[in-house]
Structure 1
Amino acid sequence: MPETRELAGGKNFAAVTTVLPSGRLQTQLVWVDVADGKILLNTETHRRKYRNVRRDPRITVVIRDEQDPYRYAEIRGHVSDTVTGDRARAQIDELAHKYIEGPYPPDAIKSERVIVLVTAERQTFIDQNAGVAD
């Protein structure tokens, strides 16, 4: 969906919801990107959200337009792949340049970086100024 690509490619934050071991939901705000039709998230391997999706790949991502909070996309899907190593480390720097206009602080990294690739099963774009697009 072009609106989802636009929002994910912009300087917009995403609310990411994963399933805890108890079955309850956990939501966190994260940086987001898009490539090859997948939503890209970057985290560390010790983080709860990563452990959650390793156990249960179901995920929901909501990306809100920072310039117009009445525009947002909801992506319901699953984690289809992960990427670690040099590529994951490079991608967090790319995201940092997008969001904070500088490199990611190396002392902030506590464990291995990982790119989480999300495949959409359902996408909804909401523009409350104009209506809903499925």
Structure 2
Amino acid sequence: MGCTSRYLGPPGTADSVPCSVRLMSADGLRSPAIRHFLDRPRFATIATTDPSGAPFTAVVWYSLGESTITINSSEGRRWPANLRRDPRISLTVEQGYDYVTVLGRVTIDDDQERAQRNMAEITARYITKPDALAARLEDFKKQQRIMIEIHPHAVLAHGVPAEKRSEERT
């Protein structure tokens, strides 16, 4: 017996679907159900590896590309330094017990024009009031930013409907 998705609706309703943890290839980011889940401006938790081998986690904003996820940071933080040394990353976006985890490697772009443009795009997902957005972007312009693109090799999902079920709902 499977679980019932808390993401789509309460158990026993037309919006609840059976769920389990599914491991998909990197193409999992192209799944309409996964994209629908990730398109919402939720926080993501990333995990990197410290020099000692211990995991290090941080909460980040992100943007969803066609086959990648992009995050952004100010230079000098611990987790970007970890990624420069070891480009492996795990990113999880959750809503209660429902989640999508992306496992992959990163490329880092230090170009300030691209990094600032990317930060503006990401920030606009999370801050929708024009005055607050403008103020935050002014703060970011004073920082040395880096753009980090995650290239997935696997996607795990729990509570996000399977492709076939998602297509049946439309």
- Residue in 1 aligned with 2:50? 20
Match of residue 60, structure 1, among 90, 108, 120: 90
Letter in 1 for 2:59: L
Report the alpha carbon displacement of residue 47 of structure 1 after superposing the two structures with TM: 1.1
Match of residue 116, structure 2, among 61, 75, 89: 89
* SS at 1:16 equivalent: strand
Q: TM-score, normalised by structure 1?
A: 0.82
Q: TM-score, normalised by structure 2?
A: 0.66
Unaligned runs of 5+ in 2: 1-27, 163-170
As a proportion of its length, which structure holds more strand? 1
**Preserved CA contact (<8 Å) 1:7 1:64:** no
Unaligned runs of 5+ in 1: none
**Preserved CA contact (<8 Å) 1:8 1:39:** no
Identity %: 26
CA distance in 2, matches of 1:108, 1:35: 22
- Residue in 1 aligned with 2:155? 123
Q: Which of structures 1 and 2 has the larger relative contact order (alpha carbons within 8 angstroms, sep 6+)?
A: 2
- Residue in 1 aligned with 2:37? 7
As a proportion of its length, which structure holds more helix? 2
**Preserved CA contact (<8 Å) 2:116 2:140:** no
- Residue in 2 aligned with 1:30? 60
CA distance in 2, matches of 1:45, 1:76: 23
Report the alpha carbon displacement of residue 94 of structure 1 after superposing the two structures with TM: 1.6
Cα distance change of structure 1 residues 117 and 108 upon mapping to structure 2, 3 Å threshold: closer
Cα distance change of structure 1 residues 41 and 7 upon mapping to structure 2, 3 Å threshold: farther
CA distance in 2, matches of 1:23, 1:40: 24
- Between structure 1 and structure 2, the one with the greater Rg is 2
- Residue in 1 aligned with 2:99? 72
| Alpha-carbon displacement from aligned partner over 1:90-124 (angstroms, at most 9, x marks no partner) | 11122222102223343356641111011111111
RMSD: 2.0
How many residues are aligned here? Answer: 126
CA distance in 2, matches of 1:121, 1:59: 10
